[in-house]
Structure 1
Amino acid sequence: MNKIPSTSEALKSLSISEKVGQLFMPAAFINDTEEEIQQLEKLISNHHVGGLCFFHSRASAATNFEGKKKVIKNENSFEVLKNLIIRYQKAATYPLLISIDAEWGLAMRIENTPQYPYAITLGANLKNIDLTFEVGKQIAKDCKAAGIHWNLSPVVDINTNPNNPVIGYRSFGDDKENVVSLATAYVKGTQSEGVLTSIKHFPGHGDTATDSHLGLPVIDKTKAELLANELYPFQQLINEGVDSVMVGHLSVPALTNNTNLPSSINKDIITGVLRNEMGFDGVVISDALNMHAVSKNYTTPGELEWLAFDAGNDVLCFAEYIEDGIQMILENATEAQINKSIERIWTLKEKAFRNITLDKGLTDPSSLNRKIAEQSLTLLHGTTSSIASFRNTNYCTLTLKRFGTEQTNQEILDNLIEMRKEIENESEILLLLTPPQIKPNNNFGFLQEEIDFVNEMIDLKKVVLYHFGNPYALKVLNTSKTTATVIAYQNFKEFQDVATEHFSGTLESKGKLPVSLS
């Protein structure tokens, strides 16, 4: 890898077009074809882009949220990732800043890599903040093992809307102080390994009912309300010292005179509020510019990239029109404007490459996940004694789990018929439930017949429910009628083991639900 010049050297030696190229962070995909890899190498070499943001595949990237394209699986994904990073670095004149969304580990984007608990699980674990520090630290080690410098996390959105389609389980909860304390621990854990972070999605994506991958969410609150809630975690973490802030694609009328412009391309919000009012002078990175909240409204190649830069973004993430964007910025920006962004970006690069050491191998999440499972397990409804009494009955155990499996609707319905027969003569049922998906669209993947089956079971029988997934999925179930409902949050083996021990009476529930389900 080429040696990185100092910030002062870069400002003097880079040509103006090289400087503008450094603003761009296109997407890189581990499942690209050789032809696509060579195209990106050529882009890096010819246009001096400053960094890359890694995703799994083009089919799983932001604008395929609807799931219309088939996602390829790659058993050797981590080695592919490492080799691609080495290859792309060789194509660069100046070292690339490599980033990824690894909110709960590389597994968020790269299969067969360590996965740590979701933010909502950590949010149930307020009595032991140190575990969240360790999560940040362990994920940072895995990033270094791959050659990644910049983890685009944590999410500091306060998830006050239970129907939020895109944040939800990615948030630490609906209490602003808890979000601040957990996000701070995560950031400090990451920084302890020399890996960069980015808090997101400014000015706050928690109280939205629209997914910005697909449309533009509107946050219709007063500025005073925003300062008291949405903006609060950002201000607190800025005061602590953060590497960067990612700006989301949101309509926030109270923060701007130009209500037609989303936050990610809005000068009033980025330069006015984030920089001038909140005092942040670090790197501002846009959320993915291919997301439909903005991309579908700006079809002239390069226009969106220019608007994002002019609004105050230093790094243009997932920009799709690099050459046109470079040209438009060269035509419209002042040299002082470009130099200010390069100064910020290069300061971040110097930090990223300072004393960089590649960790040899990936972490083993088992021990830490076990500790988090013990601290987060939450008794939502019922009592320890009601579970103990239930345990002494002749109960039947029923497992309802489709997570990660592909079944036709008919196969699912046929299974329901079998389960109905299985419990027909039972009066007490231990129900182990894992929702089919973590995201809330289409009732978390449940068929209505499955929901009806579970609710009917709860109505007619004594049910102790252990839930291994996003707790928001419980909104579709009549949990208040169960003998007891216990939330384990994840379907990892460590969380299943802890749930088993809890049911057997050898382990207490210590967690607290970090969000309201109503």
Structure 2
Amino acid sequence: MNSIQKIAQCFSPAAFIHDTEENYQAIEKLIQEQEIGGLTFFHSRHSAAANFEKRAEVLDVSGTLEKMIGLINRYQAISKTPLLISIDGEYGLAMRIEKTPQYPFAITLGAIADKAPELIEEVGYRMGLDMKKAGIHLNLAPCADVNTNPNNPVIGYRSFGTNPDKVARLSLEMYLGMKRAGIGACLKHFPGHGDTQTDSHLGLPVIQKTKEELKKEELIPFQYGIDHGVEMIMVGHLAAPALSGGKEIAASISRDITTDLLKTEMGFDGIVISDALNMKAVADLFPEPGLLEWEAFHAGNDILCFSDHVKEGISAISKNATKEEIDIVFEKIWALKDKLGVFDFKKLEVPQFDWNSHSELQSRLAKEYVSIVSGKTDSAELNRLANEGKLSHQFFFGNNDTIFSKKLNQKFDLDLGNTSIDKAEKVIISVFVPSHKPLNQFGMYEETLAEIKLLAQAKSCILVHFGNPLALKHLGNLEDFEAVICGYQSFEEAQEAAADLFLK
């Protein structure tokens, strides 16, 4: 290969599953004319995390898995060199593709106590097997961010928790599980996106901490991963002036951070991949096409993800980089492709998933993470009140048709939803949080939240919370509830596990 072809192997632009034929052909043109190294698949332009433009076309978004398999086959068939196919699937293929197995969020898995390492490694393994079946070589996960800022708009449920050592251990287990399945994975978003108040899709987050403070918190999971042989790290679009000579520059385009700190000081000799280069934290800084790609390459990134200016980027790198720099990066990517079996591509069939096995794993997980986080329940008292018609179930953002409602009614052998609050001595309140993202109080209406708070002050209440636990702060003083049960997510298996707690 000549140097231009070698540089092209660094590029992994976005490929949208639901798109126009014109756009599919534009990807084919990139593959044939620019000889790119890979593609990163997203559901659609509308749903891509970094896309905030309105879209004119109305596309059919059904059959996502089938369409992706068809596109992978189509694109691989015309590529001179087999493509490295990646996806951003932190909780499985389901993050991007409907009707595929979904696994718990990192914050949910972080609630598992005794069996956390083995169970999280198993989740990574199962997730990896699903992806391998679907033709994916690389999962851009897990997050190794420490969620120290509860107001963080972009990490939250994506982090394993607030303790750096715990995040270090669990993110490594997830990584190792995917590696055992035979796919690539990466820790992200270096140097740590947990203590930020800006979404890097929209602007540049800045961490105002000293280097010593960063070493005691944000950098711990990444150093732990490096010490345990992690082979890929994603660098984020966030500034840490203490690491970049006082400059407010994104880590992804800072040589001080990506090369001097990550590679030299911390000893990382694996592959560095950039976060999506179309994100506004960096994209808006470089109006000249190709300049951002060069800056990211020069900073020390080996794979350039979601570049919108591939041709210009290749040209800029070829003009500015040395032959030695190009060869080193190319050899790393070529070795990665070989290791992940990219060169052995065979035409894909649409995979079938073992849903029974998936549900069994989900049940095992739910029994570990669904828990009483404050107070206690008295099953004998609840049975007595139910028999006397004095136990009520009130549901918010859910209904009497949920698995939890049905299970509860079965356990007490009557429809608790029919018992009025006035007659009840005790009320079970179930809250199905509409969104796992913090915008607009996680999608919960102010008047509904006020109703829950008033009810908790007026009656003896047990709160059963299905959703991101960070949303609990909007439900008032938790001491107003006799007990708080956290289900973390609304999976059927989590609802069953929560209902089971009422018999203990």
Q: 2:120 aligned to 114, 122, 132, which one?
A: 132
1:356 deviates by 7.4
The equivalent position to 2:466 in structure 1, one of 465, 468, 491, is 468
Counting only pairs closer than 5 Å after superposition, residues 276-355 of structure 1 correspond to structure 2 as 276-353=264-341
- In structure 1, how many angstroms separate the alpha carbons of the residues matched to 2:56 and 2:165? 40
2:391–2:419 contact (8 Å) kept in structure 1: no
Unaligned residue ranges in structure 1 (runs of 5+) = 1-13, 404-418, 506-518
Give the match's secondary structure for 1:63.
coil
CA drift of 1:475 comes to 0.9
Deviation at 1:427, TM superposition (A): 4.2
1:433 aligns with: 431
Q: 1:326 and 1:194 mapped to 2: Cα distance?
A: 30
1:399 aligns with 2:386: no
Structure 1 SS opposite 2:86: strand
- 1:496 maps to amino acid: Q
Task: Tell me, in whole angstroms, the C-alpha distance in 2 between the residues paired with 1:89 and 1:306.
Answer: 27
Bigger Cα displacement from structure 2, 284-293 vs 375-384:
375-384
* Distance in 2 (alpha carbons) for counterparts of 1:376 and 1:283: 34
Shift of 1:363: 4.1
Aligned to 1:396, the other structure's residue is in SS state: strand
Are the counterparts in 2 of residues 431 and 464 from structure 1 also a CA contact under 8 Å? yes
The offset of 1:426, in angstroms, is 3.9
CA distance in 2, matches of 1:30, 1:341: 29
1:356-409 residue CA offsets vs partner (Å, 9 max, x unmatched)? 787953243211110010001121211143x65345322111222269xxxxxx
Q: 2:444 aligns with which of 437, 443, 446?
A: 446
Query: Is 1:398–1:430's contact at 8 Å kept on the other side of the alignment?
Result: yes
SS in 2 for 1:75: coil
Following TM superposition, by how much is the alpha carbon of 1:469 offset from its aligned partner in structure 2, in angstroms?
Answer: 0.6
TM-superposed deviation, 1:443: 0.6
SS in structure 2 at match of 1:30? strand
Contact 1:391 1:504 in 2 (8 A): no
The CA deviation at 1:79 is 1.2
Root-mean-square deviation over aligned CA pairs: 2.2
Residues 72 and 372 of structure 1: is their aligned pair in 2 closer, same or farther, counting only changes over 3 Å? farther
* 1:447-487, Cα deviation, whole Å (9 max, x unpaired): 11111111111111221111111000001112221011100
> Quick one: which of 63, 75, 78 aligns to 1:76?
63
Conservation of the 8 A alpha-carbon contact between 1:464 and 1:483: yes
Superposition deviation, residue 63 in structure 1: 2.5
For 1:401, the aligned partner's letter is F
User: Residues 141 and 363 of structure 1 are in contact (CA less than 8 Å); yes or no, is this contact kept in structure 2?
Assistant: no
**Matching of residue 251 in structure 1 with residue 239 in structure 2:** yes
DSSP 3-state at the match of 2:268: coil
SS at match of 1:246: strand
- Equivalent AA in structure 2 for residue 377 of structure 1: V
Is the 1:488–1:499 Cα contact (8 Å) retained in structure 2?
A: yes
C-alpha spacing 1:461/1:349, structure 2 compared with 1 (3 Å): same
Deviation of 1:336 (Å): 1.1
Task: Indicate conservation of the 8 Å contact 1:21/1:50, yes or no.
Answer: yes
Cα drift, residue 326 of structure 1:
1.1
- Specify the alignment match of 2:90 in structure 1: 103
Which range is displaced more, 452-461 or 437-446?
452-461
- Cα shift at 1:424: 5.1
d(CA) in 2 for partners of 1:54, 1:243? 21
How many angstroms apart in 1 are the aligned matches of 2:233 and 2:122?
Answer: 22
Distance 1:324 1:141, change over 3 A: same
- Where do residues 372-411 of structure 1 align in structure 2 (5 Å cutoff)? 372-385=365-378, 388-393=380-385, 394-401=390-397
Identify if the C-alpha distance between structure 1 residues 388 and 380 changes in structure 2 by more than 3 Å, giving closer, same or farther: farther
Of structures 1 and 2, the one scoring higher in RCO (CA 8 A, sep 6+) is 1
Q: How does 1:58-77 map to 2 (within 5 A)?
A: 58-64=45-51, 74-77=61-64
| Preserved CA contact (<8 Å) 1:136 1:186 | yes
**Structure 1 contact 471–489 (Cα < 8 Å) conserved:** yes
Question: How many residues are paired up?
Answer: 476
Distance 1:491 1:382 in 2: 22
Q: Secondary structure at the match of 2:50?
A: helix
**SS, match of residue 287 in structure 2:** coil
Query: Against the structure 1 CA distance between its residues 260 and 180, is the aligned structure 2 distance closer, same or farther, given a 3 Å change threshold?
Result: closer
Per-residue CA shift, 1:207-228, capped at 9, x if unaligned? 1111111111111111111111
Residue type of the alignment partner of 2:491 = F
> How much does 1:422 deviate?
5.7
Contact 2:169 2:221 in 1 (8 A): no
* Contact 1:24–1:316 (Cα < 8 Å) also in 2: yes
Aligned to 2:219: 231
Query: 2:373 is paired with a residue of what secondary structure?
Result: strand
Deviation at 1:243, TM superposition (A): 2.4
CA shift for structure 1 position 494: 0.5
Q: 1:164 to 1:363 in 2, by over 3 A?
A: farther
* 2:34 corresponds to 1:43: no
Does residue 155 of structure 1 match 2:143? yes
Query: Which residue of structure 1 aligns with residue 353 of structure 2?
Result: 362
Provide, for residues 85-131 of structure 1, a one-character-per-residue CA deviation record: whole Å limited to 9, x for no partner. 11111121111100011111100111111001111111111311211
User: Normalising by the residue count of structure 2, what TM-score does the alignment of the two structures yield?
Assistant: 0.90
What is the letter of the counterpart of residue 397 of structure 1? H
Say whether the 8 Å CA contact 2:121–2:175 is kept in structure 1: yes
Q: Is the 8 A contact 2:188 2:234 kept in 1?
A: yes
Contact 2:9–2:330 (CA under 8 A) maintained in structure 1: yes
Long gaps (5+) in structure 2: 400-416
Candidates 8, 21, 28, aligned match of 2:15: 28
> Using a 3 Å threshold, how does the CA distance of structure 1 residues 83 and 449 change in structure 2: closer, same or farther?
same
Counterpart residue type for residue 158 of structure 1: V
For 1:485, the aligned partner's letter is V
Q: CA deviation at 1:17?
A: 1.0
Instruction: Name the SS of the counterpart of 2:332 in structure 1.
Output: helix
Shift of 1:71: 8.7
Change (3 A) 1:499 1:145: same
CA separation of 1:29/1:501 partners in 2, compared to 1, >3 Å: closer, same or farther? same
Instruction: Describe the shift of the 1:472–1:90 C-alpha distance in structure 2 as closer, same or farther (beyond 3 A).
Output: same
Residue 115 of structure 1: SS of its match in structure 2? coil
3-state DSSP of counterpart to 1:180: helix
Give the CA deviation at 1:242.
1.5
Q: Is the 8 A contact 1:59 1:71 kept in 2?
A: no
**Take 1:368 and 1:70, find their aligned partners in 2: how far apart are those partners?**
39
- Say whether the 8 Å CA contact 1:75–1:112 is kept in structure 2: no
User: Equivalent of 2:78, from 59, 78, 91?
Assistant: 91
Name the residue aligned to 2:483.
Answer: 484
